[in-house]
Amino acid sequence: MQVNLVNENSVIIYFSDTVCAETTDEITYACQLFRSELNYTLSDIVPSYTSILLSCNLRKTGLQNFVINVRRVLNQLGNVGLTNLVRNKIVLPVYYGQEVALDHRDVSLYTGLAFSEIVKLHTEECYRVFAIGFTPGFAFLGNTPKQMTIPRKASPRLNVPKGSVAIADRQTAIYPSQSPGGWQVIGRTPIDLLDDSEECLSKFAMGDEVRFESIDKQTFLAMGGQL
């Protein structure tokens, strides 16, 4: 692991060059340790695919002492392993009907698979939250099966409906709010993924395990889904 200075109160830690579940687990557990061990001096923590950005509160510690404590926690991580890793398991209902699967034809044409096979592949996999960003609550999940790999759209949509489930490259994601976007839309969830009444706006956290469960149109509408 590399610990590099970013500015007068921040460091970035690089864990790996490879985006994979193992790296995500290590980053997730490291974040849990940092929040526990450095809570008093920590002002912000931003995990991503292969790194963590840590910022300290200079009113409570100096950068030099902060870096020393960061390295101490990293040594602790190496000693205890991932036995105490806390990971949420989330199951999201998704309606894959053609009226919400806006790119079902393009996905089938590009992959050579019937859309029913795309749905089967998408719901059989267990995904890991690799990163959160782009818009509030937008979680990047991976990896999708190789058979359904497809690039982003050449021309992004100006408005992707809230709850849209989409794929791009070897990743999948859910648009938590209406926004522009270039991913290939294959379904929609009726679940609201943003909650501004909670301290944490997003229902997802780095390292969470996510599965998708296919539901029919009647169930989708009964759960509050919008067509």
What 3 state SS string does the chain have? CEEEEEECCEEEEECCCCCCHHHHHHHHHHHHHHHHHCCCCEEEEEECCCEEEEEECCCCCCHHHHHHHHHHHHHHHHHHCCCCCCCCEEEEEEECCCCCCCCHHHHHHHHCCCHHHHHHHHHHCCEEEEEECCCCCCEEEECCCHHHCECCCCCCEEEECCCEEEEEECEEEECCCCEEECCEEEEECCCCCECCCCCCCECCCCCCEEEEEEECHHHHHHCCCCC
Q: Do 202 and 141 have their domain in common?
A: yes
At 39 the pLDDT is 86
Check whether residue 108 and residue 199 sit in a common domain.
yes
Amino acid at 55: S
- Helix 21-37 vs helix 63-80: angle between axes, to the nearest 10 degrees? 130
Residues in CB range of 169: below 8 A, 6 or more apart: 149, 150, 151, 152
Peptide bond into 143 cis (omega under 30): yes
The dihedrals phi and psi of 9, each to the nearest 5 degrees, come to -140, 15
Query: Is 227 within a domain?
Result: no
If asked whether residues 45 and 115 sit together in one domain, one would say: no
CA proximity to 141, closest of 75, 200, 74, 212: 212
d(CA 81, CA 69): 18
Same-domain status, 51 and 130: no
Residue 178 lies in a domain: yes
What is the average per-residue pLDDT within 38-57? Answer: 93
Condensed to tens digits (0 to 9), the pLDDT of residues 123-144 reads: 999 999 999 988 888 999 999 9
Q: Is residue 47 part of a domain?
A: yes
The pTM of this model reads 0.88
User: Within this chain, do residues 180 and 121 fall inside the same structural domain, yes or no?
Assistant: yes
Kindly tell me if the per-residue pLDDT of 158 is higher than 80: yes
24, 47: one domain:
yes
Mean pLDDT of the chain: 92
Together in a domain, 205 and 100: yes
Same domain, 100 and 75: no
Specify the CATH number for the domain of residue 181.
Answer: 2.40.100.10
Q: Is the same domain home to 206 and 95? A: yes
Domain boundary among 80, 101, 134: 80
Domain boundary among 80, 113, 140: 80
Tell me which of 46, 63, 80 is where a domain ends. 80
Contact 148, 121 (CB under 8 A): yes
- State the residue range of the domain holding 59: 2-80
Q: How do strand 51-56 and strand 127-132 relate by DSSP bridges?
A: unpaired
Do the Cβ atoms of 70 and 11 come closer than 8 Å? yes
How many structural domains comprise the chain?
A: 2
pLDDT band at 98 (very low <50, low <70, confident <90, very high): very high
Map tokens 């963590």 to a residue.
Answer: 52
Asked if residue 195 has pLDDT above 90, the reply is no
The CATH number given to whatever domain includes residue 55 is 3.30.1360.40
User: Is there a single domain that holds both residue 63 and residue 100?
Assistant: no
Task: Specify if 100 maps to a domain.
Answer: yes
* The token pair that represents 191 in the structure block: 């679940």
Lowest-confidence pick of 49-53, 76-80, 213-217, 222-226: 76-80
